[in-house]
């Protein structure tokens, strides 16, 4: 365990050993990394702990530099633990290199089944008891981290002092199909808003899509840049500045005035499309919604057919705008992306898996006694507000703040305002 300093903070590294399968505690073990952050002036104080669950799935916790973003607000009152959830960051990794030890894709898929919110919550409970014993701690969950927080409330509320959720109230009984039917509608709305804001992008995107349809264009990593890949850049539209960033990306797509994409544009597109840093995001995105019986069966791909405006060929033929998609994961990604290609058979097996453990307990949530406050972003493209509000009505005592002041990234970009509001709600100041 090492301790070091940054401007205004003291940071300490922690490593924990946990079972891969909490149902078999004597079996294989993995390591979890977590970074403790405390305000320098309060380093010796007996502060309550705040565990941060990062969004994802499959994304490591933030790497702070001083007291930036929401962390500054949190450090006034808490000692913060930034957990690299299993498989991410400095925790035991799960990627094409480490999973290559399994010769059979079935073994890869079975291993990956232990990387959902239910396992993450049991990890957190082991860490809590090792760090602070029987005392409960506070939890802040962003996006998928909020899903983890609701799982925590369902199965281990005794470990929780209070919970703050930002853009992460899941549908308690929603299937992946339900989720994608809702989010495709939101993505359509984001596309329409983007093209109203930047009407010249309509023709630029159409020209680019037509070129990609008719030519073999490659990203720097060798992956083919297809029309579907172009549409997948729409995951940018879910952040507060995403429409503007997407516009500038499209604006600079060609350096010579033709429809041929420039090297600079392709490099930027690759950065947005590659799963090199987040393979678990692609592998477990649909399973993070799966409960009970029924395979996910590439839900986003199937449900997309119910929304014909996303058919680029039809749009090009009829002179309509080519719509971008959202954060959906599609089978073609496991063939196109070099870092996912070795895992495509495991991905198919995961998509075909018929039974997944429950992630939420509605009966226990209706009897909840843990103080909870949640920010529900009215225009959220990633987590449907209607599903979130239904859950808010189910969780006893949960206070919801519905706002269109921020998008899904409100926690990060609000300068601490979102967290401050939720803390005030939980502590009875508003």
Task: Write the DSSP string, 310-360.
Answer: G-HHHHHHHTPPPPP--S---TTHHHHSTTTGGGHHHHHHHHH--EE----
Instruction: Assign 143 a pLDDT band (cuts: 50, 70, 90).
Output: very high
Asked whether 272 and 233 are in contact (CB, 8 A), the reply is yes
Q: What is the pTM of this model?
A: 0.96
pLDDT for res 43: 94
Residues 348-388 pLDDT 10s? 999 999 999 999 999 999 999 999 999 999 999 999 999 99
DSSP, collapsed to helix, strand or coil, labels residue 53 as strand
Which residue of the set 123, 380, 384, 409 is catalytic? 380
Name the segment(s) of the chain with CATH classification 3.40.50.1820.
3-173+360-426
Which residue of the set 114, 211, 247, 408 is catalytic? 408
Instruction: Assign 293 a pLDDT band (cuts: 50, 70, 90).
Output: confident
Does the domain at residues 3-173+360-426 carry the CATH identifier 1.10.3720.10?
no
H helix or E strand, kind and range, residue 154 = helix 144-155
pLDDT for res 405: 97
Which residue of the set 61, 119, 138, 143 is catalytic? 143
Average pLDDT over residues 115-133: 98
H helix or E strand, kind and range, residue 84 = strand 79-84
The verdict on whether 408 is a catalytic residue reads yes
pLDDT for res 258: 77
Residue 118's alpha-carbon distances to 23, 85, 394, in angstroms, are 11, 12, 20
Residues 199-255 pLDDT 10s? 999 999 999 999 999 999 999 999 999 999 999 999 999 999 999 999 999 999 987
């Amino acid at each position: 365990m090492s301790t070091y300093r940054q401007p205004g903070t003291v940071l300490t590294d922690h490593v924990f050993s946990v079972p891969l399968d909490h149902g078999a505690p004597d079996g294989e073990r993995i390591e979890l990394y977590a970074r403790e952050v405390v305000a320098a002036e309060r380093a010796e104080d007996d502060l309550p702990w705040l565990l941060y669950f990062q969004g994802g799935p499959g994304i490591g916790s933030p790497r702070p530099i001083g007291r930036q973003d929401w962390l500054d607000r949190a450090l006034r009152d808490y000692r913060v633990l930034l957990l690299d959830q299993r498989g991410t960051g400095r925790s035991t990794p799960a990627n094409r290199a480490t999973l290559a030890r399994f010769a059979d894709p079935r073994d890869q898929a079975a291993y990956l089944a232990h990387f959902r919110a239910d396992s993450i919550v049991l990890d957190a409970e082991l860490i809590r008891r090792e760090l602070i014993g029987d005392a409960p701690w506070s939890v802040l969950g962003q996006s998928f981290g909020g899903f983890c927080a609701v799982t925590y409330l369902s199965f281990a509320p005794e470990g929780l002092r209070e919970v703050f959720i930002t853009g992460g109230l899941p549908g308690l009984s929603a299937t992946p199909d339900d989720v994608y039917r809702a989010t495709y509608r939101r993505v359509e709305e984001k596309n329409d808003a983007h093209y109203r804001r930047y009407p010249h992008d309509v023709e630029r995107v159409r020209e680019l899509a037509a070129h990609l349809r008719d030519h073999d264009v490659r990203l720097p990593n060798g992956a083919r840049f297809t029309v579907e890949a172009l549409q997948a850049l729409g995951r940018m539209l879910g952040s507060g500045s995403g429409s503007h960033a997407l516009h500038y990306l499209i604006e600079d797509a060609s350096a010579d005035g033709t429809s041929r994409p420039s090297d600079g544009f392709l490099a930027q597109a690759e950065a947005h499309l590659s799963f090199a840093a987040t393979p678990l995001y692609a592998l477990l995105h649909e399973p993070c919604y799966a409960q009970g019986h029924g395979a996910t069966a590439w839900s986003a791909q199937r449900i997309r057919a119910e929304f014909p405006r996303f058919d680029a060929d039809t749009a090009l033929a009829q002179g309509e705008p080519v719509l971008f998609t959202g954060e959906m994961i599609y089978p073609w990604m496991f063939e196109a992306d070099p870092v996912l290609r070795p895992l495509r058979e495991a991905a198919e097996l995961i998509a075909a898996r018929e039974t997944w453990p429950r992630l939420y307990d509605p009966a226990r949530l209706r009897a909840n006694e843990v103080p909870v406050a949640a920010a529900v972003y009215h225009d959220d493209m990633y987590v449907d507000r209607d599903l979130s509000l239904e859950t808010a009505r189910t969780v006893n005592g949960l206070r919801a703040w519905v706002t269109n002041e921020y998008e899904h990234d409100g926690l990060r970009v609000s300068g601490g305002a979102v967290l401050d509001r939720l803390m005030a709600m939980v502590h009875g100041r508003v």
